[in-house]
């Protein structure tokens, strides 16, 4: 588990590298934007894929009971929740699932609540499906993001039908507590608001915090919640396209299964089948070590900025490997900040405004990379900030 290893991803068709020119206008940037890791995944996963490849036949693939049992065992052991495997379905990805659920389980014009700032595909899956987007902005209290329950209840009273929950939250890095989730869930129950929970970062949680699946809190909340999760963030498997949806009823599960059948995407690929099961059966040691390494990266980022770039203030995530950089003290507007990071610092970060217009002077940095990569990126940012401040004197 050598997470300091620098792996040349330019030769493995990595979107993080290959799409730099298209996304940022140049390709000579340190890519810390798209949310995958620059680490090799767990060895048992690699070995499972190799063994499957050695069989040499890659036909249509069935799914054994052990596939969903591995997911259930993991959820029970590490998150205290054992859903019924009969209520689970495989799908290509969480965002695919969110879009398909909104298309097929909601009606045109339905009001759907999101808590901004939030992962930008949340906006797209609602607007592009002709549903009504309702924002319930998170509140910053002493730099700490909290839910605005009064505003949420007002939106529920105003006829919102669904709530798209991000838990843990991307990009603010909150791991919602049981009390927070229970309180928001009680409002949903009171006003008959259904919940779609994106829990893709459930396993990327750091000491002092614990992910709680909202459907696990009570039987009542379980009945109104559809949960979407995946091993893709946990084990760096996004390119294998595998996710899980957990439904509250067999009727809803079967309805979605029929939709997958019409699209002919019900089956696993032969590789994600064995990779997912190996991840949930044998990947825990790797995960525990990668979390320690990423937390070390958080500390490095915070210490480096404090000592060398005090005008940029990073948060310290409770969950996810994504760090928000508060760049307001640089005095740059959104377009200037983007240009500064790309053309002066030569780093590719996610622009804060992608998540909300309240983050126009923020950037999101992916810390799941070797420490040397972070050191180089932060040094380039520091040098660019020094030049900027010198020019403004």
CATH number at residue 80: 3.40.640.10
Residues 322, 234: one domain?
no
Q: For strands 88-91 and 243-246, give the pairing.
A: antiparallel
Q: Are residues 348 and 276 in the same domain?
A: no
Residues 204 and 223 both lie in one domain: yes
pLDDT of residue 392: 78
Residues 340 and 364 in one domain: yes
In a domain, 368, yes or no: yes
Based on the fold, state whether residues 184 and 296 are members of the same structural domain: no
Task: Assess contact for 364 and 383: CB atoms under 8 A.
Answer: no
CA max distance for the chain: 67
Helix, strand and coil content of the chain, in percent to the nearest 5, comes to 50, 15, 35
Asked if the structure places residue 214 within a domain, the reply is yes
Residues of the chain with pLDDT under 50: none
Mean pLDDT, the chain, integer: 97
pLDDT value of residue 316: 97
- Give the Cα-Cα-Cα angle 108, 114, 119 (nearest 5 degrees): 110
pLDDT in tens, 1-29: 899 999 988 788 999 999 999 999 999 99
Judge if 69 and 210 occupy the same domain.
yes
What is the pTM for the complete model shown? 0.96
DSSP annotation string for 63-113: --HHHHHHHHHHHHHHHS----GGGEEEES-HHHHHHHHHHHHS-TT-EEE
> Do 295 and 326 fall within a single domain?
yes
Final residue in a domain of this structure, among 263, 281, 299: 281
Q: What are phi and psi of 92, to 5 degrees?
A: -70, -40
List the domain range (segments joined by +) for residue 82: 57-281
Could you tell me if 229 and 135 lie in one domain?
yes
The reply to whether 347 falls in a domain is yes
Three-state DSSP class for residue 370: coil
Tally of domains in the chain: 2
> Same structural domain for residues 163 and 230?
yes
Assess whether 316 and 378 both reside in one domain: yes
Whole-number pLDDT of residue 393: 65
Q: Among 42, 46, 22, 43, which Cα is nearest to 34's? A: 22
Both 185 and 85 in one domain: the answer is yes
Q: Could you say which of 281, 306, 330 is where a domain stops?
A: 281
Where residue 304 sits, what CATH number does that domain have? Answer: 3.90.1150.10
Q: Which of 223, 256, 281 is the last residue of a domain?
A: 281
255 sits in which H/E element: helix 250-263
Do residues 24 and 111 both lie within one domain?
no
As a dihedral over the C-alpha atoms of residue 4, residue 9, residue 14, residue 16, rounded to 10 degrees, the angle is 60
Orientation of helix 250-263 relative to helix 94-105, angle to 10°: 110
> Residue 85 domain-assigned?
yes
pLDDT the model gives residue 142:
86
Peptide bond into 377 cis (omega under 30): no
């Amino acid at each position: 588990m050598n997470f300091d290893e620098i792996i040349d991803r330019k030769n493995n068709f990595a979107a993080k590298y290959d799409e730099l020119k298209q996304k940022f206008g140049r390709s000579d940037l340190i890519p810390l934007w798209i949310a995958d890791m620059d680490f090799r995944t767990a060895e048992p996963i690699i070995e499972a894929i190799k063994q499957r490849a050695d069989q040499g036949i890659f036909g249509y693939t069935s799914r054994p009971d052990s596939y969903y049992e591995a997911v259930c065992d993991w959820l029970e052991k590490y998150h205290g929740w054992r859903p019924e495997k009969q209520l689970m379905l495989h799908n290509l990805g969480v965002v695919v699932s969110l879009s398909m659920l909104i298309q097929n389980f909601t009606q045109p014009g339905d009001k759907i609540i999101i808590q901004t700032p939030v992962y930008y595909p949340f906006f797209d899956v609602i607007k592009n499906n002709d549903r009504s987007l309702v924002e319930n902005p998170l509140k910053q209290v002493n730099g700490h993001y909290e839910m605005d329950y009064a505003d949420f209840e007002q939106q529920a009273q105003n006829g919102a039908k669904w709530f798209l929950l991000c838990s843990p939250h991307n990009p603010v890095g909150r791991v919602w507590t049981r009390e927070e989730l229970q309180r928001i869930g009680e409002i949903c129950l009171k006003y008959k608001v259904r919940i779609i929970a994106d829990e893709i970062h459930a396993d990327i949680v750091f000491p002092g915090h614990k992910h709680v699946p909202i459907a696990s809190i009570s039987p009542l909340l379980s009945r109104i919640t559809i949960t979407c999760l995946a091993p893709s963030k946990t084990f760096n498997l996004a390119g294998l396209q595998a996710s899980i949806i957990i439904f509250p009823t067999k009727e809803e599960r079967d309805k979605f299964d029929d939709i997958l059948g019409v699209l002919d995407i019900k089956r696993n690929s032969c590789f994600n089948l064995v990779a997912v099961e190996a991840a949930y059966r044998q990947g825990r040691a790797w995960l525990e070590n990668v979390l320690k390494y990423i937390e070390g990266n958080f500390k490095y980022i915070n210490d480096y900025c404090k000592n060398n770039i005090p005008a940029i203030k990073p948060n310290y995530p409770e969950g996810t490997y994504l760090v928000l950089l508060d760049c307001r003290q640089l005095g740059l507007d959104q377009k200037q900040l983007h240009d500064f990071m790309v053309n002066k610092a030569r780093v590719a970060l996610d622009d804060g405004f992608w998540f909300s217009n309240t983050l126009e002077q923020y950037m999101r940095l992916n810390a799941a990379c070797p420490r040397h990569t972070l050191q180089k990126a932060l040094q380039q940012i520091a040098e660019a900030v020094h030049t900027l401040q010198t020019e403004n004197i």
